Structure 1
Amino acid sequence: MSMPQLDSLKKIFNEQPDRRDDPHLLLGIMHHEVAPDSILKYSRLCFESEKSQSSDSILFAAYHKHGATWRGKANYDTSLQYLFKMAQIAENFKDPVNLGRANIEIANTYGESGDFKNAQTYYNRGLDFLRGSKDTLSLGLALFNIGDNLFEKRQLDSALVYTEESRDIFKRYNKNFYEAHSLGNLGRIYALQGDNRKGERYLREAIEVLKETDYLNATSDFLASMGEVYAERGDCRTAIDYAQRSLEAAYNHDLKQDIEEAHLMLSNLFEQVGNIPEAYNHYKQHVFINDSIRDIKTVEEMANLRTDFEIARKQTEVDLLNEQKANQRNIVVATGIASFLVMLLALGLYRRNKYIGRTKKIIEMEKNRSDKLLLNILPHETAMELKEKGKVSAKRFEEVTILFTDFRNFTHYAENLPPEELVKTVDFYFSKFDEIVEEHGLEKIKTVGDAYMCAAGVPFPVEDHAHRTLLAACDMLSFVEEAHKNNPKGETRFRIRIGVNSGPVVAGVVGSKKWVYDIWGDAVNTAARMETSSELGKINISENTYALVKDKFEFEYRGEIMVKNKGLMKMYFIKGNKILSQDNVA
């Protein structure tokens, strides 16, 4: 449908109130709309319309569109809610084609949320339904989605087989639009397999076809992949251009996952070309979007130090001014009757001395309060620099070890526990983590939702940064496991996974109102990847960290594991969290 036709349908909707609950009109608009919020609006009106309730085909289409659009906005729970309604309609009428389509859509949502196990279950179920039907076009779409899921899991050979089969089907139907998606994914697969020339050719073809359709959802992925191809070649400037185009496409369609990944890619690329401020700006956006996708409110909020400090300082000035005015009045009176009231003058001087004493106490009290707040959120050296100079210069540290933790199923608990209990439970863990960090001489960096981040080697370099960090990681894991096993009161308890990496970082103070001491750089990103690649109850470390502590712990080599935006990386588990003999540790 052309844009003028779509506009004419919307005109009917806007100008003819009696047609606004016409399911066929609503269906026509939502099927050809590309703006996510607009799709949600019309699909909701469609399945809420009384006229739609007697038509299973209309309800099926409306639930399908609504659920798929919520998936694109990274709201996976809401997406599944409507996709399961879609599947129930198909189940009631034993429709194999629609049952296949519904199961594939459910699998897509599980896959994008990172739950690959459930995704594979529903993909297999949907494929069984579709292979037994005559609807080969729906089969082609299912094969494409399965290939896309396998690509995300980095099972590239299997992804290639499914994607090529889907392309063959789309070519038989002369579906250029669908074929372009297959071409784009083939390009991404070939690029990851090392065939950059073939990958670039397919990606360019896909982008050109999709450009003509004004449908940029997949284009953002393909543009990002083109950027990765050029980054692999060392052409960072061209890679940045493609990454920025990917970011623009993702923003145009409110694709949060793509926006987050584009910001992270740009952060890494700008860091490679030496533009640290721009790299940091994109990294901040990446973290912000990541938090919104997770939909978890930060449990610990930093004190508004600057505001408190200014309020305290103003209050001190008011107290001083009031005392000065009172003192001036006394001096005027004393001067007028000095010859008669020498004792009154002495009294005035006495009051002045008391005023000076009170003033000193006020100033000292506020200074101590400000210093305490400042040192509570910033390292001592950094706090002193901020007090003296009014700003803190970013510093590069060549040898730092970074630790990330993450609780299992935290999103589920966050949605089902009362807020007070959730905060109490997280505080139970993070308070202990703070003690462990202080005990081993690490620096707590921040908490984001259920994630805890700390590092050794900042703000002061230390030679045994990796050793300290792994000792802290072992203590954290032991505490979490013990709390999980011994829980006589049946309180909420979590399980944890931990990731560690070592390397250079840039550290500094972020913000102008709520100051935050933060670190960034590729070493931080890799540490986060170590955590996401870890397993429950395990400490996963990179090759960088392993090289520093290989003689001090027992390790289990995991092999080379595919890491998003990093490629294959060697990883190790701390085996049983056992430290070797004291001779080795010393």
Structure 2
Amino acid sequence: MRTGKSIFNFTNRNQRFLLILILMMSLFGHSQNQKITDSLVAVYESGDYEPEESLKLLRSIAYNNPDPEESLKYANLMLEKATEWDSTHAEFRAYLQRGNAYEAKGDLSQALDSYLNAADIVNELGDKIELGKLYIAIAGAYSGMENRTSVITYYTEAMNLLKDLDRENYATAIENFGDEYLKWDKPDSALTLFSESGPVFEALGNEENLAFNIGNKGLAYALKGEHKKGEDYIGQAIAKMEEIGNHRPICTYLIAMSDIYAKKNEWDDAFEYSLRALRLARELGLKAEIGNAYLKLSELYERTGYSRAALDYFRMHITYRDSVQNITEAQKMHNNQMARTQVAIDLLEQKERNQRIIVISTGIALFLIILLALSLYRRNRYIKKTNEIIEREKERSENLLLNILPEKTADELKKYGAVKADKLESVTVLFTDFLSFTKHSEQTDPELLVNTIGTYFTAFDDIVESYGLEKIKTIGDSYMCAGGLPEPLEDHALKMVQAAFDIMDFVEQRRANRKEGEPEFEMRVGINTGPVVAGVVGHNKFSYDIWGDTVNVAARMERLSEAGKINISESTYMLVRNHFKCEYRGEFEVKNKGMMKMYFVLGPLSEEKESRRSASILSS
């Protein structure tokens, strides 16, 4: 049996008052506060406190820190000092916070191990409330591993322990258990549990848990097909979470909103909610939520006929799903102390067997040394050839990087290991789109369709490069490029319009000379000019991309264009009007921007047409 010591011995009245004030602020409520964390870290690093007070400081820092890595760092420091001071309560809380930090990182194996260590200590202390709260955490870890049996067991144990002792945490166990029924596609059972936990949170004035309750009800109604009711509840939950400052669950609710709009075939709103979830998850570094957002975008693109984009997003989802560490290992962990003791016994027996194996291994090692000596001779013969292969692969990697990123950006990435995002005040962005592509994709042989689209995009790449412009990406059958980045480009708007005419010419020539059975495409183009933010996203798979209203408006220009036409915004028109004939179309409603003036570009003002590269590309 472990024993605890009293660890608080304040000697300075002013110092004691200041520290207690900060610690009380840090432990009030459930939301994490970066300002409080910074204040606590400053106090801790100053050393201006009694040594015994460090445990409570470290606990508050670990509890409030929004960065899982930093939270884990201070939880480990707390565990070291708790062991040094022989403080059983502090040791338990250190293990608990370690588990929370590991779970936030997605390392479920380490999280579960920490929670079980904490449970061992609480069992010895006989604290039923803390044990019930730990069972809630353990059930949550098993939920991430999709171990349904353990989830039911631990939530049931938690509710039995907390029912007559702690109303708030009893309600939390019910709420979380209801959330599991949502995952198991049982919305009616979930709503039954939510209807029991919600009034408790409301009576206690717990706004954050009440927000969870409202959002979970919305998910349940959406799952039942009652979309309007679900949308109303989820909208209320998002508003409350934003007000409170707890952004992690907002990602889940945004994905749910995307589902609701997708079921109503309102695709713009469905994509917008999924993209909002992805942006928020990236900002917060939430791996599981990033993976969920990628999966939802993959489903949306698949349902709207953009198979290539759907595949790209699904691959990104798999990458993030696999980054949740050691799930298979964690699922094999034992659920009780007896099993943990058996593991220790097995290890002792293994140690005895290992000692017997050492003698045999020594003889084998001598034999292997002889084999190694012989292999070294052969290895030296291949060193030169291997070095040549490495050089070729290095050159290949350099060329591949330049195909993915602009040269300046690639150089910066190689030199510093990262690329700083740039805000560029004047950039021209172009979008293209093939009309009736979905219809062709359903009626045309897939291999022929992919080869045809590849021919078009290869030609577009050559045209864009010839004008000093930068290809950004392709999204399904849509092609996106920009001028004026990463380095400023003189007359980028003029060059973009010239490139657009060359692209249109190429498409028309392909239509005129298409082979039998080859799909016939018509294309529309949209262009806009303005400020953007540009940078590199991704860690293992780099991608150069741009963001901002300028990009969104350019996409809207393309959607509001017509077959065979180049539609430009007023900002682009002001830069090209002295060089190109433009036809004013009037003002059109643009989502999130209001009414905007638009123009069709008809051709150069001069009778002498500028050189076009499309014909040479086609003939080659």
Normalising by structure 2, we get a TM-score of 0.47
